[in-house]
């Protein structure tokens, strides 16, 4: 495993644009989805929006794309002409599979490409191509493109093929996770857009709309939180959740029974527990929520805890509104919050895909 400086030292180097650390670590900016080398001259983000990686491969596999200003793929110097031409070919080819025969037609021996990418990017050429395809796929998912169109449009013959690639990108083998458990992930279609769900043996730990901002970073955060790999597959908890969501969107389910696991700070867990006590079809204000958790006047704090809820819909943070009656914020988008509240108010089903306002 490649060693890297301690976080404090990497922060110092990045915010000082210290070029001596180029090639030692790379920096991802959560708010833009871009990764840079330490010496990047661009305006520096807020420290809480930064994470660090040991290699280009780690950054790409976390869903980040290369900065066009500091060119982190060229941290160790501009690549040789044959590599530059190959990188350009990857970009122009889109989702076309680049095979060993394709490389030979370009005058490049596959073993040479493999060695170069392993040495400079810590991943094979095939893995680099897969990461680029997945980055484009995740961008489409965030924009609301259906899972079928994304999976098939990016060269995958089935959902399972896309899930396999998803697992390779966002998680290691299950055997490497704590106590042999892992977070099993699954894409679930809904009338409000695709959701990604995750479950451990204890229960559902993740349910988010795939177009939520920086979903890739959230997946990495939950992997760190649970210290488990994320792998695609089926799980009894996911099967039950999918069935319950179908009934919910049909207006036939008022209370979820799926087991949940939602670790957080003591305050966050109090807030999330109180959210689950808000009756179906009703709303409360942030002011009232703060009062109920024993922190009267701390509506901003409870709002922040709402935003950190990793279990959309089943922990119903959408049922909290401003004191004025306005909807307030919602990580899945206010248009979804409005439709969820309307569904619960009327129990009228959402029968098909809903276009964003």
Reported as a single tens digit per residue, the pLDDT across 174-225 is 233 334 467 777 778 888 877 888 898 899 999 988 766 666 667 777 888 8
Query: 30, 57, 78 — which closes off a domain?
Result: 78
Parallel/antiparallel/unpaired status of strands 183-188 and 230-232: parallel
Say how many domains are in the chain: 3
Reported as a single tens digit per residue, the pLDDT across 81-130 is 788 788 888 878 766 778 888 898 888 888 888 887 776 665 678 877 77
Reported as a single tens digit per residue, the pLDDT across 129-181 is 776 666 566 556 555 666 666 555 555 555 565 656 555 554 433 233 334 46
Residue in the structure block whose two tokens are 């699954």: 186
- Residue 324 has a pLDDT of 83
Write out the residue range of the structural domain in which residue 33 sits: 1-78
Query: 78, 94, 117 — which closes off a domain?
Result: 78
Instruction: Determine the number of helices (DSSP H) and then strands (DSSP E) in the chain.
Output: 14, 10
127/247 Cα distance (integer angstroms)? 39
Query: 22, 47, 78 — which closes off a domain?
Result: 78
Span 311-326, average pLDDT: 92
Residue 193 lies in a domain: yes
Pick the catalytic residue from 54, 67, 317, 351: 317
Active site residue 317: yes
- Residue 239 has a pLDDT of 92
The domain that contains 318 carries what CATH number? 1.10.10.10
**Which of 115-119, 237-241, 252-256 has the lowest average pLDDT?**
115-119
Residue 87 lies in a domain: no
Conformational region of residue 193, where left means phi above 0, alpha means psi within -120 to 50, and beta covers everything else:
left
């Amino acid at each position: 495993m490649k060693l890297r400086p301690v976080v404090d030292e990497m922060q110092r180097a990045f915010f000082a644009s210290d070029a001596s650390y180029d090639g030692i670590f790379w920096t991802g900016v959560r708010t833009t989805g871009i990764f840079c080398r330490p010496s990047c001259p661009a305006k520096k983000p807020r420290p809480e929006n930064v994470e660090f990686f040991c290699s280009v491969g780690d950054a790409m596999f976390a869903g980040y794309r290369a900065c066009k200003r500091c060119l982190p793929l060229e941290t160790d110097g501009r690549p040789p002409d044959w590599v530059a031409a190959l990188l350009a070919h990857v970009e122009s080819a889109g989702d076309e599979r680049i095979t060993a025969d394709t490389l030979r037609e370009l005058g490049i021996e596959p073993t040479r490409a493999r060695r170069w990418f392993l040495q400079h990017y810590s991943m094979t050429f095939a893995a680099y191509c897969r990461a680029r395809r997945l980055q484009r796929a995740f961008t489409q998912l965030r924009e609301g493109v259906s899972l079928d169109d994304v999976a098939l449009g990016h060269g995958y013959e089935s959902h399972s093929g896309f899930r396999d690639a998803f697992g390779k990108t966002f998680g290691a083998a299950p055997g490497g996770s704590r106590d042999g458990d892992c977070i099993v992930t699954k894409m679930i279609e809904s009338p409000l857009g695709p959701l990604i769900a995750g479950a451990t043996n204890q229960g559902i730990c993740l349910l988010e709309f795939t177009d939520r901002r920086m979903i890739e970073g959230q997946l990495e955060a939950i992997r760190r939180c649970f210290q488990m790999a994320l792998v695609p597959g089926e799980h009894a908890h996911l099967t039950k959740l999918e069935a319950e969501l179908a009934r919910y969107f049909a207006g036939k389910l008022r209370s979820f029974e799926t087991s949940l696991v939602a670790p957080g700070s003591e305050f966050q867990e109090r807030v999330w527990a109180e959210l689950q006590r808000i009756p179906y079809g009703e709303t409360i204000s942030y002011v009232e929520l703060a009062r109920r958790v024993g922190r009267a006047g701390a509506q901003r704090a409870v709002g922040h805890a709402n935003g950190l809820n990793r279990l959309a819909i089943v922990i119903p943070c959408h049922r909290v509104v401003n004191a004025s009656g306005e909807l307030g914020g919602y990580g899945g988008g206010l248009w979804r919050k409005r439709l969820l509240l309307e569904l619960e108010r009327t129990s009228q089903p959402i029968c098909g895909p809903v276009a964003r306002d």
